Amino acid sequence: MNKENINKIEIIKKVTPVIEKAAEESGLILLEVDLVNEFNKWHLQVFIYNPKHPVTHEDCEKVTTKLDECLDLMIPVEYYLEVSSPGSERKLKSPGEYEIFRGKRVKIKLKKPINDNLKTFIGIISEYSKENGLKIKLEETNELIEIEETNISQIKLEPKYEF
């Protein structure tokens, strides 16, 4: 089957609960599932998070083993299963991730500046609510600011590298 005959969205919708269950059984959190076609080969990309420590090879292996056979029955094309960590500089893509990564250092770019032309900055996610948006503790001043979710252009993990 070629690219055009596959309903990516339907497949992702169908496999996500199964992948989520496999991750949870392994003490992990499912962050994202994507089905991409690269060089005419399908890749099911699964990004997991371990709340206790950085994602290990063993974490990925546990999820892969649980999924290996059951997904073959759900995906109508040949594909490669790729289970991996979100990466140290992952773009946060959903409110759920704001909660998962609470207490983590992030870099935020806003659509419109706030607080004296503040548009790009680094801080720690303090809390999130649908009503009030994100509360961020600014790294430079320790000031706690509120950001409306609709004003966020990009937010990504920003690890602090010590040398």
pLDDT of residue 1: 43
Q: Please give the CATH topology (third level) of the domain spanning 3-84.
A: GMP Synthetase; Chain A, domain 3 (3.30.300)
Phi-psi region of 28 (alpha: psi -120 to 50; beta: other; left: phi over 0): beta
Closest to 149 measured CA to CA, from 90, 92, 89, 95 = 95
Q: What is the mean pLDDT of residues 123-144?
A: 92
For residue 70, the SS3 value is helix
Q: Please give the CATH topology (third level) of the domain spanning 95-157.
A: SH3 type barrels. (2.30.30)
**E strand segments, the chain:** 29-38, 41-49, 79-84, 105-114, 118-129, 133-138, 144-147, 152-157
> Across all residues in the chain, what is the average pLDDT?
91
Q: What is the mean pLDDT of residues 129-155?
A: 91
Domain layout of the chain by residue ranges: 3-84, 95-157
Band (pLDDT 50/70/90 cuts) for residue 132 is: confident
- The three-state (H, E, C) secondary structure of 87-130, written as one string: CCCCECCCHHHHHHCCCCEEEEEEEEEECCCEEEEEEEEEEEEC
Domains 3-84 and 95-157 equal at CATH topology level: no
Band (pLDDT 50/70/90 cuts) for residue 4 is: low
Residue 105 pLDDT more than 70?
Answer: yes
Q: Encode pLDDT of 60-89 as tens digits.
A: 999 999 998 789 889 999 999 999 998 889
pLDDT of residue 106: 96
